[in-house]
Structure formats: C-alpha cells, structure tokens
Amino acid sequence: MMNKSNSIVNVNRLYMQAAKARKVLAGLVGASAIALIAGCVSPGPQTQFFSLFPAQSVTPIANKPQLSLGIGPVVLPEYAERAGVVSFTQGNGLRVAGYHAWAGSLNENIARVLAADISAALKADQIQSFPWDTRTRPDNQLRIVIEQFGGIRGENVKLVARWHQLDLKNKTDAKSGIVRLSVNLNDDAMETYIAGLNELINSFAVALAGQLDMVEG
C-alpha cells in the first residue's frame, strides 16, 4: 500500500513534469510566433521613386523678359496616368513597374519641367506651370496633349505631343503644332529609361520655345 508521503512525491513529480512540458510548449509556441512575425515583416524590394528635372544647361534662343506664359494643363495618355512607371513590350504590350514609381503627379511634373526649360530658353521669368494662381493668370497659355510617352527598355523612348497656344489676354487662338521626338537607350536599366524620358521632355521644351508665335521674328 502506497503511503501518503509517496503519493505527495508522485503528485509533485507529475506537477513538475507537467510544468516542464508547459514551458517547453510555450517556448515552441513563442518561437513559432517569432518566426511568423519575422516572416510577415521581412523586408521586400524597396520601391524607388523617380522625378523629371529641368535641363542642367539650356542655350537661350531669345530674350523675352516680359513674356507672360502658362504651361498646361498637360494631358497624358491613359496608360501613363498611374503611379507605376510604364514601359512598352513587343507586340503593343505594356509593363507597369511594381517597385519603380513616380514621386507625384507626372503631368504636373512635366509641366514644371517645361516651364523651367522654356523660361531658360527665352530668358523669361514670368512663365509658370498649371495649375496657377488666378490672381497671377498668364497672358498666354500653352495646352499640351501627349499622345505617346514611353518606349521599350533597352531600345528607345518616344514622345508624340500636340500643343495649342492661346492668347488669353485677347481671347484668341495663336498657334498649334505637333512634336515628335525619339531617344535611343544604351541598356534596359530603369535609371536609363527614366533618363531617356527626361531627355525627351527637355528637348520638347526647346522645340516649343522655338515654335511659339511670340518668339518668331
């Protein structure tokens, strides 16, 4: 017959074994939870953001300090109206980058770059981009519809854009035209692709500066 002392020892042993088992189980659960959390927060590819910038150097083609001109709005093709950078593929396909995006509104970015480059080309300080303050409304406006902006990475990028100049002061149409430009790319890196797009906009600005009515003659 088991005495009371042995019963207590056995109960204590069972309790200690159960406690040890609970501790081991808790450790396993904790380790699993840590592994799960680590898996959830493990860093993936970092999104890179890009922007277009005015040309570092623009050769002046005229001196128009009193020119009052507003650039925009700039209308983009539907495929370009998204945050992700869009490129073309063979067979009229489109590729939207998952980890390469524009740092803001692309059409407003283009308008700002055009305004800065045209201002430098014409030595004009009263050129602003859309949207502008109604209290400083420009005398002239340049509306732009971009029909193509992009290309195949590693090959080339193209710009096709129509522009329409308005005389807001006299409420008349001044002039309109179309510009087609192309830039070859040395490799398929995203940085090279963005640089090509930037060069297109810089060249577009110079072309516009030379075609405006107020520059001719």
d(CA 171, CA 5): 109
Residue 122 has which token pair?
């014409």
pLDDT at 26 over 90: no
Look at 39-43, 115-119, 159-163, 203-207 and tell me which has the smallest mean pLDDT.
39-43
pLDDT at 11 over 80: no
Same domain, 194 and 95: yes
Its pTM stands at 0.79
Percent of the chain with pLDDT over 70: 78
Look at 28-37, 76-85, 99-108, 187-196 and tell me which has the smallest mean pLDDT.
28-37
Same domain, 159 and 204: yes
Percent of the chain with pLDDT over 90: 69
Same domain, 21 and 76: no
Same domain, 173 and 202: yes
C-alpha to C-alpha distances, 23 to 28, 31, 33, 36, 79, nearest whole angstrom: 9, 12, 15, 20, 58
pLDDT at 47 over 80: yes
Same domain, 133 and 173: yes
Per-residue pLDDT averaged across 131-146, rounded?
92
Same domain, 30 and 81: no
d(CA 211, CA 121): 12
Same domain, 79 and 184: yes
pLDDT at 66 over 80: yes
Q: Tell me, what's the pLDDT at 17?
A: 53
Same domain, 87 and 35: no
How many domains does the chain contain in total? Answer: 2
Over residues 165-176, the pLDDT tens digits come to 999 988 888 899
Same domain, 74 and 38: no
DSSP designation for 95: E
In a domain, 129, yes or no: yes
Same domain, 87 and 147: yes
CATH number at residue 55: 3.40.50.10610
In a domain, 217, yes or no: no
Residue 48 has which token pair?
């890179």
State the residue range of the domain holding 10: 1-42
In a domain, 165, yes or no: yes
Same domain, 171 and 205: yes
In a domain, 200, yes or no: yes
Q: Tell me, what's the pLDDT at 143?
A: 97
Q: Which residues make Cβ contacts (< 8 Å) with residue 66, sequence separation at least 6?
A: 124, 126
Same domain, 16 and 67: no
In a domain, 216, yes or no: no
